[in-house]
Each structure stands twice: as structure tokens, then as C-alpha cells.
Amino acid sequence: MTKTTKILTIQDISCYGQCSITVALPIISAFGIETAVLPSAVLSTHTAGFTDYTFRDLTEDLPAIQEHWEKEEIYFDAIYTGYIGSIKQLDYIKDIIKSRLKENGKVFVDPAMADYGEFYYGFDQEFADKMGKLCKLGDYVLPNTTEACYLLHRKWKPDFTKDEMTEIAEKLSDFTKKYVILKGDTHKKDQLGMLVSDKTSSDIQFVYNDRIDHLSHGTGDVFASAFVGSSMIGKTPTSSAKIAGEFTKKAIEETVDDETHGYGVKFERVLPSLHDLIQKY
């Protein structure tokens, strides 16, 4: 009997809007991986482009869920964290990782807290500093350039040179056990890239995709989820970044001509392409 790989993803549920758990669950499942969820909060919609959304903080539910899982002896091969609802949750999540992760299990941390030079609503530098401590439990940490700058207490700017991106990635090695995947390399005019940095060997690889001039919410979650799925089926970090980057690009391409679809990308339409991407990379 084939062993079942089990992943736990910890992030919010936006009831409407393609992000967080509503993205992670179908994408990781498409890799044939059993995916459990632990919601950090429940929102009526996500926070980008909507007003007067509801927000239910589930912070105080986390310890009881952990306790129940401990009684049931439930463990996971990997734990993947995304948008976290409150600073208090970060300590609870560290406890869950230490308690429920199998020996030699993997931790993926997407420090989803900022973009385009600004924190998301409700986050600040205190949260970023606490998030940095969670990142240090991660085998893979996946920040964009804004999040990286907040982690490093560095000033953000829209464009960094290749040397500057390399320097940031090297400094981020303090925030991971193994790998940093730094998103947002813009030094190539028509391409958008990322760095894959291996702390254990100091090796840095650049991965690029064609740039599409379309601003979409949730693309970071799409990328991170596809990266997690790829990694958990045995792909290298560089191959996983290529799969995730191209999958995200395809999802944006499906969305770019639909002006009414400003709340996410149509990743569902390109889920079948994952098979070919896995074979390609």
C-alpha cells in the first residue's frame, strides 16, 4: 500500500475570494497529497478591494484543536503556514509545529503580511519581528521583497538590482533552516523572477517567468501552494519554484481579460496543467 503524505496548512479562510485555504486546499490536493486545514480566522471576503468584511478571530480555538490532535495521535509530514490572524497565534503555531510534525517532517512558512512596500491591514513591525521567529522553524521560507525588508528592518523599493536581491537572500538565511525562496526579482524588463537560496551550500539560483502586467490578489498563495505540493512529491527547490512560477503565470493569463474578476486568479482552470509542469521540471 502506498504511503499517504499528509500536510497541514494553517491560514485563514476567506469565504469569498481566491486566497489562503481556499487556494491551498485544492492546489495541494491536486498533487495527490492529503491536506488538512487549521483556520486562523474566518472572513466573509479577503481584505483587498472589499469593505465592511466580517472577521472572526479563531486564536483561542488553536490550543484545544492541538490538544485533541495529541489525544488522537494525529501527525503531519509537513506543516505550511500562510496568513496568520493575530500575533498571539504565532506562539500557538510554533507549539503545534513542535507537537504535531513527524520526525524529519518539513515546515513551509509563507510570511504573508505585506506587499508593495506596505503591511496588510492589522500588521506592523512588531508582528514582523514575531513572524521572523516563526520563520526560523521553516525548512522553506517564501517571502516577497516587502516581507523580506520588514524581516530585515530594511527600506523597501519597487525595484532591486540582481546584486541587491542576492544580498537580501543571503541575509535572509538567518530566517530559515534550509531554503529561502525570495519572490519579486524585477531587474529583467519583461520577466519576473525569484531567488532560490540554499543556506546549507550558499548556492543561489534565479528562476524567471514572463511578466504579465496584471495585478491580482492571491497570486502569492497560488505560488506558495504549488511550491509546497511540488516539494512534497520530491521536486528540488529550484524545480518547485519553476513549477509554481509557471503555474501562477498560467492562472494570471486565464484571468487577465476578465475585468470583473478582481478578487483572485482563475487557478482552477489550469489545475490540469500541473501534470505537464511536473513532467517538464
Averaged pLDDT for residues 209-234: 91
Domain that holds residue 187: 6-280
Averaged pLDDT for residues 207-215: 82
Query: Is position 241 within any domain?
Result: yes
Domains held by the chain: number:
1
2 pLDDT exceeds 80?
no
pLDDT-derived band at 1, boundaries 50, 70, 90: low
Query: Is position 252 within any domain?
Result: yes
**pLDDT over 70, % of the chain:** 99
φ/ψ (deg, to 5) at 188: -95, 125
| CATH number, domain containing residue 58 | 3.40.1190.20
Q: How many residues does the chain have?
A: 281
Task: Give me the helix-helix angle, 145-152 and 162-171, nearest 10°.
Answer: 50
211 pLDDT exceeds 90?
no
Strands 191-198 and 179-185: antiparallel
Averaged pLDDT for residues 22-29: 97
In angstroms, what CA-CA distances link 34 with 7, 16, 77, 132, 166? Answer: 6, 23, 10, 28, 35
Q: 68-99, pLDDT tens digit by residue?
A: 999 999 999 999 999 998 999 999 999 999 99
Query: Is position 1 within any domain?
Result: no
Q: What is the C-alpha separation between 91 and 87, in angstroms, rounded?
A: 8
137 pLDDT exceeds 80?
yes
Averaged pLDDT for residues 106-117: 96
6 pLDDT exceeds 90?
yes
Question: Which three three-digit cell numbers place residue 172?
Answer: 535572509
Query: Is position 237 within any domain?
Result: yes
Q: 238-248, pLDDT tens digit by residue?
A: 999 999 999 99
Query: Is position 179 within any domain?
Result: yes
Averaged pLDDT for residues 35-62: 93
Query: Is position 174 within any domain?
Result: yes
Q: What is the C-alpha separation between 83 and 156, in angstroms, rounded?
A: 21
More confident residue, 195 or 202: 195
**pLDDT over 90, % of the chain:** 84
Question: Which three three-digit cell numbers place residue 252?
Answer: 494570471
Q: What is the C-alpha separation between 221 and 225, in angstroms, rounded?
A: 6
Query: Is position 155 within any domain?
Result: yes
In angstroms, what CA-CA distances link 123 with 18, 87, 131, 144? Answer: 21, 9, 11, 16
Long-range contacts: 231-236, Cβ < 8 Å, 24+?
Answer: 231/106, 231/108, 231/140, 232/5, 232/7, 232/28, 232/31, 232/33, 232/77, 232/78, 232/106, 233/31, 233/32, 233/33, 233/278, 235/278, 235/281
